[in-house]
């Protein structure tokens, strides 16, 4: 799970939520040169949408994927931010994704639904399902959505935060080959990014959500340091 630091720590600028520093590196004559650029989140959003559309992805899907990238960069989770965009574009150009796919939502039970992503990105499928999922959750007290035939799930916390901002408790899981072991264990059990959950606690606001697991690890590490 990923949790951004408090917004007050992201930048000393008055527009801390819109501007951040991004460090780049480049090898010049055998030496690694580092430099920093200040880029607005709006610029990132526009550039990512343009890059994805130039690679063949339709506009609505490009916007959905770009929001995940922007959120990741804003939260200093660079592994799910701009770092991913060249790979997305390459996969689109190679035909790995269906660039014009429209996910299909199927009602499977009063508190359940299934989304056939039809070969598109998972955030696109989730956005398609979200209105129905929210309605079912508020009507029944609980709801579950399964997504199949998607090509990449991206960061689990993105959907969790969206759900929690609506005042609901969110749990997100993904299945894959076993790559990592449980906390304190030694045998591989989970795929990468296996589980994420969050909810809006009494002292939190929709702009300052906390993913529980990373918070607990931070507390433990602070105790160890002392």
pLDDT tens figures, 14-41 = 333 344 445 555 555 566 666 677 888 9
176 vs 167, more confident: 167
Which tokens go with 106?
């199927």
186 vs 205, more confident: 186
Q: 105 - beta bridge partners?
A: 115
Confidence of residue 13 (pLDDT cuts 50, 70, 90): very low
Question: Do residues 170 and 199 touch, judged by C-beta distance below 8 A?
Answer: yes
194 vs 64, more confident: 64
Identify the weakest region by mean pLDDT among 115-119, 139-143, 193-197.
193-197
Q: What percent of the chain has pLDDT over 70?
A: 72
pTM of the model: 0.71
pLDDT of res. 38: 80
Residues 6 or more apart in contact with residue 57 via CB below 8 angstroms: 65, 92, 97, 99
Is the pLDDT reported for residue 224 higher than 60? no
Closest to 17 in 3D by CA, of 69, 64, 70? 70
Question: Do residues 52 and 39 touch, judged by C-beta distance below 8 A?
Answer: no
**How confident is the prediction for the chain on average, in pLDDT?**
77
197 vs 47, more confident: 47
Confidence of residue 217 (pLDDT cuts 50, 70, 90): very low
pLDDT of res. 33: 62
| Region 85-107 average pLDDT | 90
Q: What percent of the chain has pLDDT over 90?
A: 35
97 vs 26, more confident: 97
């Amino acid at each position: 799970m990923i949790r951004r630091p408090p917004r007050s720590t992201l930048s000393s600028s008055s527009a801390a939520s819109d501007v951040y520093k991004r460090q780049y590196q480049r090898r010049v004559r055998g030496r690694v040169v580092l430099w920093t650029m200040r880029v607005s989140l709006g610029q990132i959003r526009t550039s990512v949408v343009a890059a994805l559309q130039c690679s063949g992805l339709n506009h609505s899907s490009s916007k959905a994927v770009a929001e995940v990238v922007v959120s990741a960069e804003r939260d200093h989770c660079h592994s799910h931010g701009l770092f991913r965009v060249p790979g997305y574009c390459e996969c689109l150009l190679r035909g790995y994704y269906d660039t014009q796919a429209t996910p299909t939502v199927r009602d499977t039970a009063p508190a359940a639904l299934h989304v056939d992503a039809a070969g598109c990105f998972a955030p696109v499928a989730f956005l398609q399902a979200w209105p129905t999922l929210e309605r079912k959750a508020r009507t029944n007290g609980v709801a579950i959505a399964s997504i199949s035939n998607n090509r990449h799930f991206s960061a689990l916390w993105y959907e969790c935060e969206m759900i929690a901002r609506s005042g609901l408790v969110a749990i997100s899981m993904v299945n894959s080959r076993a790559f990592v072991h449980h906390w304190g264990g030694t045998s591989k059990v989970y795929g990468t990014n296996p589980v994420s959950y969050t909810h809006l606690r009494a002292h939190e606001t929709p702009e300052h959500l906390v993913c529980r697991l990373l918070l607990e690890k931070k507390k433990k590490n602070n105790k160890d340091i002392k």
